[in-house]
Amino acid sequence: MARRLRTLVAGASLVAAPLFVAAPAASAAPLPGGPYTYAAAHSGKCLEIEKGSLADGAPAIQRTCDGNTAQGWFNEKLDDGGILFRNQNSGQCLGVLGDSTAAGAQVVQQSCQGRDSQRWFLINHGYGVYSFQNKKSQKCLSVRSASGSDGAAVVQAECDLANNQRWY
């Protein structure tokens, strides 16, 4: 956890992103590399692919941070300033099920194709805290209903930048 926070804080000092991303900044991603873990600010629980699944379409959830590889993410910086989140365990990318633009749509892992529904732009809140806005839907990565439970679904929702949409 200390490595993650040091790296994200160091990356935050290099990032100058607006509160809302209208046009992505060229250097919007934290430092490339990883793996990184991302914990939801409201619960302190980590973004994970459920049960460490390798399957295409496996859902993203939050779970108590334990350092397993299903909670590890490599950041791949894109030319448009967005990033792909590639799961350490499966090698698949974080995207929105069915390329949906609907609020509440499930976030899943998918074969990495660089589609707009797999591209995320960072909203930098400072101090190593970010929200992730989907390029296609313009919605934010969110823990459904601000649940604090292990296994709670990670979905896309209108960006209100509440703590269940903030990740560190």
CATH of the domain at 58: 2.80.10.50
The CA distance from 149 to 15, in Å, is 32
Structure-derived torsion over alpha carbons of residues 155, 156, 161, 164, reported in degrees to the nearest 10: 0
In this predicted model, which residue has the larger pLDDT, 26 or 101? 101
Pick the more confident residue, 98 or 20: 98
pLDDT in tens, 142-160: 999 999 999 999 999 999 9
> Residue 3 has what pLDDT?
43
> What is the average per-residue pLDDT within 92-118?
98
> What does the block give as tokens for 162?
């509440």
Q: Which domain holds residue 100?
A: 2-165
Q: What are the tens digits of pLDDT across the range 51-77?
A: 999 999 999 999 999 999 999 999 999
Choose between 151 and 27: higher pLDDT.
Answer: 151
Domain count, the chain: 1
